[in-house]
Structure 1
Amino acid sequence: MKAVTVKKIKDELNHRSQNELVELCLKLSRFKKENKELLTYLLFEAHDEEAYIQSVKDLVDDLFQEINTKSFFYIRKSMRKILTLTKKFIRYSKKKETEVELLLHYCKRLKEFSPSIEKSPRLTKVFHTQLSLAKKAIATLHEDLQYDYQIEVDNLQ
């Protein structure tokens, strides 16, 4: 089965009743965990972005605490997992401020991590890549926010 375009889906959804739309959303949420998480964000957390950002930061902090530090292989694997989750939460929001906040928090936690990421070239590259992505996102924000976030970036470098 080949998926149709977004425009065709939108047109078809416009012709459905409210009850049918509710049923479709519920079926979608049962199908995949990410769909359920996205619906949770849209319905319960999108109205309070600050609380959403804080909950993601808390989750990232908890995951950093659970990292197995016996070897850099496990550390890198855990860091990639945390980064993937962070990117997923950024995708749900689609707001540049949220993206900047979460990327800077990830970079800050990475920089503070013990053992130091300086001993691993791969982790250092991940740090610099995410920091440059945060800088790109900062460039799209309002000037006042750019100044505030630039101070945080300078502290990380």
Structure 2
Amino acid sequence: MKTATVKELKTELNYSSQAELIELCLQLSKFKKENKELLTYLLFEKSNEEGFIEDVKIEVDVLFTEINTNSYFYIKKSVRKILRLIKKYIRYSKKKETEIELLLYFCKKLSEFKPSVRKNSVLLGILQREVISVKKKIKVVHEDLQYDYNLELKNLNL
């Protein structure tokens, strides 16, 4: 089966009734967990972005406390998993401010993590890449936000 382009899908959806659109959304939500998460964000969380950010931060806190610290191998796996999760939530939001806040929070949690990530080159590399990424993203937001985010970035003690 050949997959339709976004333009073709948009054109076809314009011809659908409201009931058909609801049915399509429900079918999408049953097909894959990520679709259901996206629909949940769009319907319930999009209007309250601060609440969404706080929920993600709470989830990140929980995941950081559950990391197996017996070896750096398990720490690396868990950190990558947390970062994947954060980036998935960032894709849902599509807002630069949300992206910067969540990545800054991840960097803060990772830099405060015990045992220190500075003792492992892979973990240090992950932290440094995300800091560089945040610095690039900060340049595209409003000047007042740039100042606030840069202050927060300096407080990370990198």
TM class by smaller structure: over 0.9
1:103 counterpart SS class: helix
| Aligned-residue offset at 1:45 | 0.3
Which residue matches 2:79? 79
1:98-123 Cα distance to aligned partner (Å, 9 max, x none)? 00000000000000000000110000
Structure 2 segments unaligned to the other structure (5+ residues):
none
Compute the displacement of 1:136 (Å).
1.1
Cα distance, 1:62 vs structure 2: 0.3
Corresponding residue for 1:70? 70
SS at match of 2:155: helix
Distance in 1, Cα, partners of 2:15 & 2:31: 23
Q: Quote the offset at 1:77 in angstroms.
A: 0.3
Count of paired positions: 157
Amino acid at match of 2:103: L
TM-score, normalised to structure 1, is 0.99
**1:154 aligned residue:** 154
Q: What amino acid is aligned across from residue 84 of structure 2 in structure 1? A: T
Tell me the C-alpha RMSD between the 2 structures: 0.5
Distance in 2 separating the partners of 1:55 and 1:45: 10
Consecutive unaligned residues of structure 1, counting only runs of 5 or more, are none
Q: 1:20-53 CA distances to partner (integer Å, 9 max, x unpaired)?
A: 0000000000000000000000000000000000
TM-score, normalised relative to structure 2: 0.98
> Counterparts of 1:83-102 in structure 2 under 5 Å?
83-102=83-102
Residue identity matched to 1:56: V
Q: How does 1:1-20 map to 2 (within 5 A)?
A: 1-20=1-20
Question: Does 1:135 find its partner at 2:135?
Answer: yes
What are the Cα deviations for residues 29-87 of structure 1, in whole angstroms up to 9, with x where unaligned?
00000000000000000000000000000000000000000000000000000000000
> Equivalents in 1 of 2:10, 2:129: separation in Å?
36
Question: Does the residue aligned with 1:3 lie in a helix, a strand or coil?
Answer: coil
Identity within the alignment, %? 62
Q: Which position in structure 2 is the counterpart of 1:106?
A: 106
